Chain A
Amino acid sequence: GAVVSQHPSRVICKSGTSVKIECRSLDFQATTMFWYRQFPKQSLMLMATSNEGSKATYEQGVEKDKFLINHASLTLSTLTVTSAHPEDSSFYICSASPRGTSGGRGTDTQYFGPGTRLTVL
């Protein structure tokens, strides 16, 4: 199956610093990747859609200047949390669908990374 990795798996940082999270598709190319956030005991909330070679599309209420997304290649998207504060502490998860012919079963199934736990002190 398609594999998505994230790095780091967990990070602790001081308030006011910036943190970069990487999302990689290991065995497929992805034109589109997605970033989610999950607070304790809650479901996943979509933050933004990352498009290779173009600007990300942010969901309503997500600050694009605070959560910078760069999708520089077909296998890598990065999320940078700028000037992090304790309320940004959360579980950040990315997903991607293999780029391929449409219509085939499973070719547009989203596969998720293992997640990055961010703690801002």
Chain B
Amino acid sequence: DAKTTQPTSMDCAEGRAANLPCNHSTISGNEYVYWYRQIHSQGPQYIIHGLKNNETNEMASLIITEDRKSSTLILPHATLRDTAVYYCIVRVAGTASKLTFGTGTRLQVTL
């Protein structure tokens, strides 16, 4: 699997948009970009994924650059409950396909 690089930590004020960047310059054509988050002492939670088009769901939006070498996860109105470690992972499709976790971005949402 291709590797990703993310900032170690970020802060965001409650109610503001949180924009979390991820670089995946060696991504292959058949690899998707997945985002998960892990709140302290819990299992990771799936957020969103995409191949090349921008995606939006009830939790977040995913913006993937045209060359697919980077992406941004957007939490439109961050709340204190969004404080977590966010992982950007590239992975091929398939139920037997592994997820390889990097160090992620620790997002701290403050009042």
Contact surface of A with B, Cβ cutoff 8 Å: 1, 4, 6, 30-32, 34, 36, 43-46, 49, 51, 91, 93, 95, 97-99, 102-103, 106-115, 117
Contacts and interface: CB of A to CB of B under 8 A. Distances in A.
The 5 closest A-B pairs by CB, nearest first: A112-B43, A97-B95, A44-B101, A43-B101, A32-B96
B99 A110 contact: yes
Interface of B: 34, 36, 38, 41-46, 49, 87, 93-104
A91 B43 CA distance: 9
Contacts of B93: 102-103, 108
Given A102-B93, A102-B94, A109-B49, A46 B42 contact: no
**B contact face: mostly helix, strand, loop, or mixed:** loop
Given A34-B98, A49-B96, A43 B44 contact: no
